[in-house]
Amino acid sequence: MRSAGLDIGSRSIELVVLDDGEVAAQKQTDTGVDPMLGVQTLLREQTYERIMATGYGRNLFEVSADAPTVTEIKAYARGVRHLFPQAATVLDIGGQDSKAIAIGANGRVKKFEMNDRCAAGTGKFLEIMAYALGFELADFGAAALQAEQSLTISSMCTVFAESEVTSLIAKGQDARAIAHGLHASVVRRAAAMLQRVSGTPQDVVFVGGVANNHCIVTLLQETLGTTIHVPSAPQMTGALGAALLAAENGNAGP
């Protein structure tokens, strides 16, 4: 039996297709101005019997495709537990929001916290700061790890932080030290969220696009004093969870 899962996010859309529980296909595209066009592109030439969507655009998909949806919290918890059966805590940092989720022994969500009110501590925050410092986003984390010191960034508001960065550049501060300070500010925020939902976080799985940033992973491990597990394709976790739930809940697709 083939099931499909879509994660329709604010920045990108992910698709995972499972065939008897094994990944048969996984694809990604930009969300753009018309999320449903991106969905149609991903689903083209894909075959499946059941489908489920999660993410910011899941309600659009529910209306346009008359198909079931699931919250990001449940989808990410299910996807993580499939990849890491021992997982107790999930950190998801995407383009526009971040989430901390505590998972019980039965795999169900015990507690969660979500920041979706502003770009603070998200992929968008890091993207804007990278460009302000003259780095490509893909190189930002590596540059931060090369810093000989870390400069404290006091503001997490994207607008004020960018002004702070501009001021530090004007004073001749090393761009790598500023980058390290920006990464550290994101990690402080993420660690605080994890601690609020889990106390002392253990068996932490880091997902979402920002999990590809090695500096964030390294600083999280140092801050929490525990190993951070990262899937091979962390941005696909929500779509994977949706595909698994589609198969388990018996929701039919077209």
pLDDT in tens, 120-133: 778 899 999 999 99
CA separation for the pair 86, 84 (Å, rounded)? 5
Q: What is the pLDDT of residue 196?
A: 96
**pLDDT tens, residue by residue, 30-75:** 999 999 999 999 999 999 999 999 999 999 999 988 999 999 999 9
* Residue 71: φ, ψ to 5°: -65, 155
Q: What is the pLDDT of residue 117?
A: 63
Pick the most confident of 77-86, 92-101, 152-161, 245-254.
Answer: 77-86
Q: What is the pLDDT of residue 48?
A: 96
Q: What is the pLDDT of residue 250?
A: 56
CB atoms closer than 10 angstroms to residue 170: 8
Q: What is the pLDDT of residue 85?
A: 95
pTM above 0.75, yes or no: yes
Average pLDDT (9-24) is 95
Same fold flag, 1-84+235-254 and 86-230: yes
Q: What is the mean pLDDT of the chain?
A: 92
pLDDT at 29 over 70: yes
Q: What is the pLDDT of residue 254?
A: 38
pLDDT at 135 over 60: yes
For residue 118, what pLDDT band results from cuts at 50, 70 and 90? low
Stretch among 30-34, 178-182, 235-239, 248-252 having the lowest mean pLDDT: 248-252
Q: State in words which class domain 1-84+235-254 has.
A: alpha beta
Q: What is the pLDDT of residue 177?
A: 97
pLDDT at 149 over 90: yes
Q: What is the pLDDT of residue 235?
A: 96
For residue 107, what pLDDT band results from cuts at 50, 70 and 90? confident
Average pLDDT (128-145) is 95
**pLDDT tens, residue by residue, 197-225:** 999 888 999 999 999 999 999 999 999 99
| Residues 225, 229, 234, 238, CA torsion sign | negative
| CATH, range 86-230 | 3.30.420.40
Per-residue tokens: 76? 């990410």
**pLDDT tens, residue by residue, 157-186:** 888 888 999 999 999 999 999 999 999 999
Domain boundaries, the chain: 1-84+235-254, 86-230
